[in-house]
Amino acid sequence: MSLLDRETPGVVMTPDNIRTKKLPVVADLGIALGALVVAAAVVLGFGIGNWVLVIFLGAVFYLVGLNFAAGAVEGKRAARNRMWRAAIYAACVLAIIPLVSVVWTLVTKGAARLDGDFFGSSMNNIGARDPNGGAYHAILGTLEQVGLAALMAVPLGVLGAIYLVEYGKGRFALTVRFFVDVMTGIPSIVAGLFVLSFWVLIVSPWFNDGTPQFSGFAASLALTVLMLPTIVRSTEEMLRLVPGPLREGAYALGVPQWKTILRIVLPTALPGIVTGIMLSIARAAGETAPVLLVAGATAAINGDPFAGPQSSLAVFVYQQAGDASRYAPDRAWTAALTLVALVLILTIAAKLLARRNRLSK
């Protein structure tokens, strides 16, 4: 039945009856309030829960009530539209609560040990009853391991991306590309086990009179495995954004391809590449599992990443979280705050750099 058939003869088309009817905002708010009251009455009346259940049931009642009210006034389709919008907004609110809680706890609990001693001393000779002790050794370890990993992963990753964009052709390049993507998903603990079975158990005895040795370098090898695919992917994306005419202009001037890549393509894409590298460094700095397996986690300060066990900030957090001392939780939270600050500073700097990147706009 078309609109024309439905039109009753007595009705005159006025702006009032040809415009879609809308549920007034007051009705919307009224339904919300009513739903909350009903939910509170049900929950508290029967004594089956506390205010969390009230809010949850209230939300459900609101959605149902809204559906009916809007359905009566606006029609079925508009009612469904409203309901989904409310559900989508609710999803946002629901997700924000735990995330705010994480940040809040981190700041309030982390402030407890935010003193010079924490950043200036190690956990060496700190017993269960000692309230002091710090994370200097862990911060040092994190910086050295991540730095070494970056030294290995960045050239390898950028060169790999250059291969994929500039040189790679055919099935083989596609295969490499596919496995770079697959490698992005390798769990960090598997990377740790790989370095454990390859470097710590097989290679390191050669340098250490036949006994396996944990070291910061082993940790940076594991971090390299984790950083490599992300660097390749982000660099590749940036290189592909470099306009083709730039390359062709260089070729036309007789510049060889390798020189074109090094002097034209890379500098053009540099801000984007640096962004990707910084993001992957931030990810690596927060990795716990591989470092836990291969670095050996000592309580003492060890500045030499190639010999002897080392700690890292993330491992320090994990160890203090499992420590029975009543001072350990404070140390764990302060170390967590330090770690998050380090990671977030790197990430935010990378994102700000990305904003200034002309290519990705």
Partner 1 sequence: MGDNPSRSASTEAGGSGVTARHARPAGDGVSPIPPDDRPDNRPPLGGGGALPTKSRFSMETGFRGLSTAAGVMVLVIIAAIAVFLISKAAPALTANDANFLTTKEWFPNDTPPVFGIAALAFGTVLSSVIALLIAVPIAMGIALFLSHYAPKRLATPLGFIIDLLAAVPSVVFGLWGRDVFSEPVKDFSVWLNKYFSWIPLFGGEGPFGRSILLGSLVLAIMVLPIVTSLSREVFQQTPGMNEEAALALGATKWEMIRTAVLPYGKPGVIASVMLGLGRALGETIALALTLGTTFVISFNLIQSGGNSIAANIANTFGEANETGRGALIASGLVLFAITLVVNMAARAIIYRRREFRDSAA
Q: Which of residues 169-208 bind partner 1 (CB under 8 A)?
A: 173, 175-176, 178-191, 193-194, 196-198, 201-202
Q: Hey, which residues between 231 and 250 contact partner 1 (CB under 8 A)?
A: 232-233, 237, 240
Q: Is 140 in the site for partner 1 (CB under 8 A)?
A: no
Q: Provide, rounded to whole angstroms, the least separation between the CB of residue 171 and partner 1.
A: 13
Say if residues 49 and 43 touch (Cβ distance below 8 Å).
Answer: yes
Does 348 engage in binding with partner 1 (CB under 8 A)?
yes
The reply on whether position 135 binds partner 1 by CB under 8 A is no
**CB 302 to partner 1: min, Å:** 19
- Which segment (31-39, 46-54, 116-124, 128-136) binds partner 1 by CB under 8 A? 46-54
49 binds partner 1 (CB under 8 A): yes
Sole binder of partner 1 in the list 24, 120, 131, 256 (CB under 8 A): 256
State which residue, 224 or 302, has the beta carbon closest to partner 1: 224
Q: Candidates 34-42, 123-131, 132-140, 162-170 — which segment interacts with partner 1 by CB under 8 A?
A: 162-170
Cβ closer to partner 1: 75 or 303?
75
Contact characters 295-334, partner 1, x per CB under 8 A? -------------------x--xx--xx------x--xx-
Nearer to partner 1, 85 or 326 (CB): 85
Q: How far is the CB of 56 from partner 1 (least distance, A)?
A: 11
Is the CB of 3 or the CB of 12 nearer to partner 1? 3
Total interface residues for partner 1 by CB under 8 A: 103
Residue range at the interface with partner 1 (CB under 8 A); choices 10-18, 27-35, 251-259, 265-273: 251-259
Residues ≥6 apart with Cβ < 8 Å to 98:
none
Cα–Cα distance, 354 to 358 (Å, whole number): 9
- 113, 137, 283, 331: which one contacts partner 1 (CB under 8 A)? 283
Residue closer to partner 1 by CB (options 12, 92) is 92
